């Protein structure tokens, strides 16, 4: 069983919980995921099964989220899972006041990750240090946010803003909620999060656990082909002799013009074999096998 699965992660499941449950459903041990989601969050959790686990690092990194931000409340974790630090009415807050600040989050920005996160500092995860009450000097990180769109606004004592956020890998939506609240002087926390795009997989094409169980029972279940999510990479096709050499781990010389680093690699029958890496040795261009799926 080799391929990818677009799982719609339910709330209150960790990414590790999902992998453990799928191992039982699919009766296979070699399963990994392509990007952690917090237990509170729902939505796309890319799953790699069998040989697909070796391809996770090559999947596209762009992500998209639907996020609900609640103003007037500040928590220890920057979402509703944490303890409340402060709570004050934000009835005077309007969408018109918020919109100008959203532009400050678009582009390449510096962001402080939440204290309760899986990022490691000195070999320990931040949430492990935070739970011990240790004071943590959290390093900033550069993240890229390409678009923020307002989906809805609900006024009230603790008003809520729903946003669609397109961003690169490593972006913390909890940090955006926290920082937006700080800029407005009201405080804010993330009330809910639904990932709609990850590793090229979209929410509308995802499956929940019930779908997968039913599909297995009716023999109406199949995985996504190994090369399908890798359309972000260019491709090369080898002749019969080069196919044999490549599968034996040998480098393939090319005189054609190529500019990328990694390539989907197909044999003389147009069958997907794995990933090649382009190397330039003096003036000679070589395709070096990076991931050989037959091995």
CB 197 within 8 A of CB 60: no
Domains of the chain: 3-60+201-217 (3.30.2350.10), 63-198 (3.30.2350.10), 233-292 (2.30.130.10)
Locate 108 and state its tokens: 């390449």
Which residues are identified as catalytic? Answer: 38
Locate 55 and state its tokens: 């391809």
Taking the mean position of all CA atoms in its chain, how far away is CA 109? 18
CA atoms within 13 A on the CB side of 203: 13
What CA–CA distance (Å, rounded) separates 33 from 6?
Answer: 10
pLDDT at 130: 46
Kind of pairing, strands 120-121 and 124-125? antiparallel
What CA–CA distance (Å, rounded) separates 144 from 197?
Answer: 15
pLDDT at 134: 54
Counting beta carbons within 10 angstroms of the beta carbon of residue 221, is it exposed (0 to 12), middle (13 to 18) or buried (19 or more)? middle
CB 234 within 8 A of CB 258: yes
Kind of pairing, strands 262-266 and 235-237? parallel
Q: Which residues pair with 108 in a beta bridge?
A: 144
pLDDT at 118: 54
pLDDT at 122: 53
Mean pLDDT by 10 residues, the chain (295 residues): 95 94 95 90 97 96 97 94 93 97 96 70 51 62 96 97 96 96 96 96 96 91 94 94 94 86 95 94 88 88
pTM of the model: 0.88
Locate 291 and state its tokens: 């991931």
């Amino acid at each position: 069983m080799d391929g990818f699965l677009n799982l719609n992660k339910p709330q209150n499941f960790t990414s590790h919980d999902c992998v453990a449950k799928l191992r039982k459903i699919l009766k296979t041990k070699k399963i990994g995921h392509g990007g952690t989601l917090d237990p509170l969050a729902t939505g796309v959790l890319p799953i790699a099964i069998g040989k697909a686990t070796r391809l996770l690092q090559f999947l596209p990194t762009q992500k998209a989220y639907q996020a609900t931000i609640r103003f007037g409340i500040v928590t220890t974790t920057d979402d509703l899972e944490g303890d409340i630090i402060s709570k004050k009415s934000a009835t005077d807050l309007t969408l018109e006041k918020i919109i100008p600040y959203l532009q400050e989050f678009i582009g390449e920005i510096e962001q402080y990750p939440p204290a309760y996160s899986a990022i490691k500092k000195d070999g320990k995860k931040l949430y492990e240090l935070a739970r011990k009450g240790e004071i943590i000097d959290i390093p900033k990180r550069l993240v890229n946010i390409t678009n923020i769109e307002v989906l809805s606004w609900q006024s009230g004592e603790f008003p809520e803003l729903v946003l669609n956020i397109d961003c690169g890998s490593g972006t913390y939506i909890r940090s955006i909620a926290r920082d937006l609240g700080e800029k407005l002087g009201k405080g804010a926390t993330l009330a809910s999060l639904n990932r709609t795009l990850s590793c090229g997989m979209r929410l509308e094409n995802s499956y929940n656990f019930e779908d997968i169980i039913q599909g297995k029972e009716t023999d109406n279940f199949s995985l996504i082909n190994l090369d399908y999510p890798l359309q972000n990479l260019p491709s090369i096709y080898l002749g019969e002799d080069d196919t044999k050499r490549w599968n034996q781990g040998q480098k393939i010389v090319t005189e054609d013009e190529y500019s990328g680093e990694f390539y989907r690699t197909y044999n003389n029958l147009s069958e997907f074999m794995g990933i090649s890496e382009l190397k330039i040795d003096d003036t000679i261009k070589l395709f070096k096998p990076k991931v050989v799926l037959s091995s």
